[in-house]
Amino acid sequence: MAVGKKLTKSKMEKKEIYSAKLKRLIDEYSKILIVFADNVGSNQLQQIRQGLRGDSVILMGKNTLMKRALKSYIQETGNDTIQPLIGLLQGNVGLIFTKGDLKEVREELGKYKVGAPARVNLVAPVDVIIPPGNTGLDPSQTSFFQILNIPTKINKGTVEIITPVEIIKKGDKVGSSEAALLSKLAIKPFSYGLIVTKVYEDGSVYDPEVLDLTEDDLAVRFASGLANVTSLALSISFPTLAAAPHMLINAYKNVLAVAVATDYTFPQAEEVKEYLKDPSKFAAAVAPVASSTGGAASAGAPKEEEKKEEAEESDDDNMLSLFDD
């Protein structure tokens, strides 16, 4: 009986130690990567820990234990900014607490993916396509290819695949025939590692694809959003900082149109009215600009003619020198 109590106490102590560690990490780190850890072995996980050592800490554990620790932390501190984390603890997941650049940490995780064979009944994470080419298998192995409807031919005593064939689609379970064939071809179609599913940063949760956005992408998205806001504000005549310049210009155009159509006038409209009464004045205003550009061109023309004449004279001199004794 005493032994049973000792074991129970030991389990409780481990849970308390784990809970205290999780709470301490939440206090120390404001950035957390939620990672999917299916098919990741202990040796692979240890290599990842070593690769991230310095500014990141990986914490794995049962979801119920992590949820309980997070709820306890919220009750003790009143800090409910980590509340979204609780809903993300589903499936075989872990937490990576980091002080480094989130994009760099995710890229570092990608370095530790390892190839894995296609096992029977395993759900394929990606499409599996067998490329064309020589398989190195003898003709007696053609039955595998026939079962999967893979076009082949015999070339120099070995089986050769004619065209690329998709034998497994993403999300489908691997069958025994597909697994056997991929094993014979020594193809490891899948790779496993810690995959970032969500990012938590200072109370906000977002998809990891956000980490791939560049400053140019953000500028384009901001400009698109600004254009939408401006269009909406103009259509409902609601003044905003983005729409104000357009509203002022449109209002000026309306006032100018009224001044042109009536006897009402103001200084800025006088010049427009003068141009409408006598279009030649507008042509006269444009003429100085045209003459300045044309003058530059005409000034360059005589110089070109002079150069051409000099070149012709030098050619004549050269021709005459051929007959000199």
Question: Which residues are registered as beta bridge partners of 129?
Answer: 166
Q: Which helix (H) or strand (E) holds 293?
A: helix 279-321
Residue 34: φ, ψ to 5°: -95, 120
Q: Strand order of the sheet with strand 195-201?
A: 56-59, 93-98, 31-36, 195-201, 204-206
Burial class (CB in 10 A: 0-12, 13-18, 19+), 190: buried
Rounded to whole angstroms, the Cα distance separating 14 from 215 reads 45
Angle (CA) 109 112 114, round 5°:
135
Rounded to whole angstroms, the Cα distance separating 71 from 84 reads 11
The pLDDT tens digits of the residues spanning 213-233 come to 878 878 888 888 888 888 888
Q: Please give the full DSSP string across 3-22, using - where no structure is assigned.
A: HHHHHHHHHHHHHHHHHHHH
Burial class (CB in 10 A: 0-12, 13-18, 19+), 3: exposed
Residue 96: φ, ψ to 5°: -115, 110
The pLDDT tens digits of the residues spanning 279-290 come to 776 666 666 655
The pLDDT tens digits of the residues spanning 297-324 come to 555 555 555 555 555 555 545 444 434 4
Give the pLDDT confidence score for residue 286 in this predicted structure.
Answer: 65
The pLDDT tens digits of the residues spanning 235-250 come to 888 888 888 888 888 8
Average pLDDT for 98-110:
90
Look at residue 197 and tell me whether its pLDDT is greater than 60.
Answer: yes
Average pLDDT for 172-194:
87
The pLDDT tens digits of the residues spanning 110-154 come to 888 888 888 888 888 889 988 998 888 888 888 878 888 888 888
Give the pLDDT confidence score for residue 323 in this predicted structure.
Answer: 40
